[in-house]
Amino acid sequence: MDKQVTIEDCMLSRLKNLLFRANLLTLKSKKTIILYRSIIEESDDIIEEEIATLSSSFVVVQVIIYGGCLVPNIQQQIVMDINEFPDWVMNRGKEIFQKIVENLESK
């Protein structure tokens, strides 16, 4: 029986292709690509932010607190293969997913 293709499957396929192309750029330039930045919490001059970067076939997602008199501090760090990332980010929400696709399409 043929597998039914869903919109979600198409979106995941598109992101995988974009990540593959962006990964080639990171390998050539030896520079990371920021996939997205998202402020989790902001109070006074202190910011808690989630940042995802692509580097050498891996995506690194970090939650960082910085600002004010605080020394920048990595609260959480997740490292995953570029093949794992599309499913992970799809579960996080369509808004972040769309932000990543738009960012990679502009590269």
**Global confidence as pTM:** 0.87
Domain spans, the chain: 7-105
pLDDT of residue 89: 94
Mean pLDDT by 10 residues, the chain (107 residues): 74 94 94 95 93 95 93 96 94 92 91
Q: Is residue 75 a contact partner of residue 5, using CB atoms and an 8 Å limit?
A: no
pLDDT of residue 8: 87
Comparing C-alpha atoms, which of 11, 35, 13 is closest to residue 99? 35
